[in-house]
Structure formats: structure tokens, C-alpha cells
Structure 1
């Protein structure tokens, strides 16, 4: 019984959750609950990152950093033609990073490693000055195989790709199955107002290990290499070149285990970088050094 000020009150019964209080949950029920909890936690983390992204773009807008109409037009065209897996918010993030570098007068090239059909690179090219160099690296064909450093999620995805089961953007042919992706990307740049010949853009075909040999400042590196080996190669060769105030944007950190492992290993104990948990992971160079 429960008493309050000498007044006899009703007897409280135990709260019963998921059936009778004296019954134990079956193992299957516990597994379902754990799975639901993990799913909810993932959704919560994603929502927090999306909120951080929205706050960052709002801060940029308040400071006067907004996409010009011509860049918005390019972005819309890229989306309409299914040239990028990225949604408009992510594409604006890349364009705003380029515009921010232009406004602040930061030196250095813009780099994209892993371009697929070229959409995100085209948007960044539209945002940069014609004189600023841009390097776009890709095999322009079938994605290279993962290694033992990648998790089962990556290997399952690669098996699906090589089996011919991958779907392209908006139902189009998957980029790795296209006959002449290099020419397609080159033509897409021109069609959207940034012909590579007159826009200081270089499309570099081949494995990252063979082609990324830059020895000049980099202000922005958008890394979309998916797997461990490609991501680590990019970090080892590009991170030391990022100028103070420049940044690396990791497209796949939240998506693929190999990319996540490579990033965590490379930046463990490495000073001089600020981590921004946004819709995509940003790593901002604060001080010079490797």
C-alpha cells in the first residue's frame, strides 16, 4: 500500500512491458529489439549529421555565401541528367566549399578522386574560377576490387557489381558498365558550361596508385573511392598538400567500412585537423604539416 499524509491509497501494481511482468522475453524478441535499436541509433546519427549540414549552410548564407544562379542551374542540370548519386544538399556543400575558397583567396587546386559520371565534379567546376586548376581522377570504368582491409559489406557490394546487378542513377546503366565513360564525362563537362580545355580541368584516367602524383597545393579534395586501398592512397598523397583552411570531404565514410577504416587509421593521432560531422565527413586543415 502507498500512504500519503496518513491517507490510505490504492495499491500500485508493477508496470508491465511487452506482456506479463513475470515472463522473460524470448531470444527472438530480444534480437528484434536489438536490431530495432541499432536501426534507430543509425537514423538518429544520420539526423544529427543532416542537422549539422543544415546549420553549416545556414551560417554560410548568413555570411553572404550562396550559390549564384548559374551554379544552381548547373546543379539542376546534373540532377536532371542523373550525373551524380549526390542529392542537391550534398552537391551544394561541394560548390559552397569551392566558393568559400574563392572568397577567402585560398590557393590550391580542386581535386575529385572517384567521379563516376562526373556530376559532382561538374558542379565544383562551375563554382571555381576558370584559372584554378582542377584534377579529376578515376579509372573511368569498372571499380577496382576491394582487399582484405575492407569489410563484408564492401565485398558483398563488389560481388553484386561484378555479377552485373548494380543499378545506375535513376535507373540508368551503372557507370562501371558503360562503354566509354571517359568521353561521356568529358562531353558532360562541356555540355554544362565547363569544357575541360578552357576551364583548367584535367581528367586523369587510371588507378589512384598510378595517377595521383600531385606536388602542388590543394584547397579541396572530394574523395569518393569507396574502398580502403583507394581511400588510403588518396589520403597519403593528398592530405599533406591541403592548405590551411582547405578541406577533405569524404563521400563514403558513413557508407562503407573500408573507407571508414582508412580514414580512422590515417588521422589517428594526427594533429592539425578539425573534424566536422556533417552529412558527409569533413576534415579541415588548421595548421600546415603532414
Structure 2
């Protein structure tokens, strides 16, 4: 087991690499503040969630280990895989072998709005944005670049409404939802929240997007969830589950 200092140095370097902070001057159009807040769409970096949300994820993972909260880690909507890569690096750095990282994405971009099921998504054009379409093979290759692809990483390829209901996940300690739309967020909450352990965290990456926040409020209201929503930065929020 590495020393605490060596572990923290590795995880800090992993964050800087995933976010491309070390070479930010070579990232077209990037600024320190935008990368901190996760407000830009990087041409090179393996994550667009920014430093504040990455640090928050780190804190949540430390918390579930310290408090022995049972369950795996999952992200729904992974783009180039950076946040999931950091999750796997965190588990490896801490010598954790009994948790998995679930990498859930269509790997084909976002779905077109299904206005019949989710009229809130009317007008959404995320499905037209080629920049958001990152293939499974590219995400796998990114894991390999960090030497973090192994049997503790599991991929769920397809639309959330198809993959999440039957995903062989028993318990979840960290659920990181990054689906932008009402449909993606609601499908994720509906299928995953019941598996989140008490003391586990639900992270909403895109709360500042109206489609997403509407789904969060509707789900929480329908299930009488009163745990406070805590802001992370200008975009993301989280809450910690306190009741079964």
C-alpha cells in the first residue's frame, strides 16, 4: 500500500492530467477559470467537468470509504471517460478491490427528444452535437492510456432506458449523473436511486440545464426526498442519501 503522501500525489497528478491542466496553454481557447468551473468543451482534455467537480467527486469517494458505505461507483454519460478514469484510479490508489466502476453511455451521443414521454425535452438539440459523440473504443483506449482498464471497469453501452433497468448492479455508493436532458436524468434516477446506499452520494453534473433540473425536482418530489441539494460550482450539485 503506498504512503498517504504518494497516494495523494498520484491522485492530484491524475486529476491534472485528465483535465489537461498542466498543459492548459496548449488547449485552444481554454482559461484557468473556465477549466476550474468546467465551463469549456475541451479539444484535448479527457473530461469537461472541471476542477471543482473533480475535487468534489474525490471528496465523496473519500467519504464513502471512510464511512464504509457499500456499493459501486457509476457515471451515466461519460463523454471521453475522464471522471470514470479518475474513479478507477482512486480505487486502485486505495487498494480497493471489491468495488466496480460502471461506465454507462450510448457512446453515440445524446438521444433525440422523446416528446411523447418527456415533453420537457422539447427543443433540445444535444443529439445534433457531434462533439458529444465519443465511441466506446475511444473511451476504452483512454482507460488504457492510464493503465486503468481491468475487470473492475464495466461498460454499459446503449440508451439508459434500455441498459439501466437490467444492469447487474446491486448497490451504489456514488451515482454521478451527466445526461443533460430530462429523459436521461429521469431514466438514471428511476433505475439507480433505489440502489444507492444510505450515506451514498448522488451527483448531478448538469443541474444548471433546465431539462436536467426539472427531472431532479420531479423525481425528488415524487419520492419525498428532502436531503438538501448542495452546490458544487456554477453547474453541478449533489445530495447525500439519508433514508432508504
Corresponding residue SS for 1:107: coil
Q: How many residues align?
A: 205
2:221 equivalent to 1:268: yes
Aligned to 1:144: 111
Structure having the higher Rg: 1
- TM-score normalized by the length of structure 2: 0.77
- Report the Cα offset of residue 273 of structure 1: 4.6
Separation in 1, partners of 2:71, 2:136: 25
Aligned residues of 2:113 and 2:124 also touching (Cα < 8 A): no
Structure 1 gaps of 5+ residues are: 1-63, 167-173
1:74-85 correspondence to structure 2 within 5 Å: 74-80=14-20, 81-85=44-48
- TM-score normalized by the length of structure 1: 0.65
Residues 189 and 69 of structure 1: is their aligned pair in 2 closer, same or farther, counting only changes over 3 Å? same
Aligned residues of 2:112 and 2:125 also touching (Cα < 8 A): no
Aligned to 2:66: 103
Separation in 2, partners of 1:208, 1:221: 14
2:73 equivalent to 1:117: no
Residues 151 and 232 of structure 1: is their aligned pair in 2 closer, same or farther, counting only changes over 3 Å? closer
Separation in 1, partners of 2:56, 2:119: 28
Aligned residues of 1:147 and 1:228 also touching (Cα < 8 A): no
Which ranges of 4 or more aligned residues in structure 1 deviate by more than 4 Å?
none
Separation in 1, partners of 2:192, 2:231: 21
Structure 2 gaps of 5+ residues are: 21-43
Residues 150 and 260 of structure 1: is their aligned pair in 2 closer, same or farther, counting only changes over 3 Å? farther
Aligned residues of 1:112 and 1:221 also touching (Cα < 8 A): yes
Aligned to 1:253: 207
Aligned to 1:282: 238
RMSD of equivalent CA atoms? 2.2
